[in-house]
Chain A
């Protein structure tokens, strides 16, 4: 059985596509907003059930073919990000720019 929490997924993708949010939350020491690349990815993929749906092949059924393809591309792009980089360096790394772009694409497909 698979179930994706779509509202939470959309919210997570919006944050994954938002450089300003990342700048505020990744570099924060005491809040009010705390996050990191790993956290954002986990919130989008692990906490929403997205990873599980990708693994068991039910993603297309859950979100439709176009959105599933876009999320698959985002999944690949995220895998290429070196999350050991310091947050400041990662923020404008080319791999992160691609993630933001693909997160935006996935959002558009989910909203379509």
Chain B
């Protein structure tokens, strides 16, 4: 470390200090948001993902330095592009591979009559990844679950809390909690609507707080497992992560 604050930071791109986004060339990456600040120009080919997602929601294993092409992170710059299904393709394969995706996704849509695009993980746009049911499908590479970009910001939630609970809208912001190594998912339009995943502490005298648990709230009001309003400090407001299901109470 030299102590010099360079302008190039995330994925070796320049930080725009005014907008606090990274200019990737095609799009601006928002480290505070769900990913890119603008829609993927090729969103039609990736209907299984939100048009704002970054690197198939797998920033630990993948990168998207241009805003257009996802590649493996440890590919020494050249980068094998990654298919939505997670397979590696030719290094310069982006443009040549896109038509193949287009054809495949059209074929799939025609076959199934759905809008499901190139993704194999089969998450609906904006949908998260399940935890409690054990359905922790990965974003695309099949190895690392999505963490909303937290690892890129130097934050690694403890095991058991790294997976985004299923159903949280894709546009919700994700950030580490102030204390406790938790992860906060919040409605960008209303911080009072949020889901907070906490790892728990062995030293807690309360059994439910010794293991990962969830706190969620609507308009600042804590909710129990069934979405009913409860006082913040009651045991029922501490929901074991395995029992938590994101419900319609927070979906407009």
Contact = CB atoms under 8 A, between A and B. Distances in A.
Given A34-B235, A47-B194, A52-B191, A28 B205 contact: yes
Contacts of B135: none
A34 B234 contact: yes
A60 interface: no
Contacts of A87: 203-205
Contacts of A2: 191
A66 interface: no
A37 B19 CA distance: 33
A33 B238 CA distance: 11
Contact of A3 (B184, B192, B208): B192
Given A1-B188, A42-B215, A47-B217, A25 B177 contact: no
A8 interface: yes
A36 interface: yes
A41 interface: yes
B220 A47 contact: yes
Nearest to A21: B233
Interface in A4-47: 4-5, 7-8, 25-39, 41-43, 45-47
Nearest to A4: B191
Contacts of A4: 191
Contacts of B184: 42, 46
Interface string B8-37: 000000000000000000000000100000
B198 A30 contact: no
A36 B233 contact: no
Interface in B194-225: 194, 196, 198, 201, 203-209, 215, 217, 219-220
B191 A5 contact: yes
A25 B233 contact: yes
B182 interface: yes
B232 A43 contact: yes
B74 interface: no
B207 to A, nearest CB: 8
B178 A35 contact: no
Interface string A72-112: 00010010010100110000000000000000000000000
Given A36-B201, A83-B180, A86-B203, A47 B235 contact: no
9 contacts: A5-B191, A25-B233, A29-B207, A36-B209, A38-B198, A39-B198, A42-B179, A46-B184, A51-B178
Given A5-B220, A55-B32, 15 more contacts: A3-B190, A3-B191, A32-B234, A34-B237, A34-B238, A36-B180, A36-B201, A36-B209, A38-B182, A41-B180, A45-B177, A45-B179, A47-B194, A81-B179, A87-B203
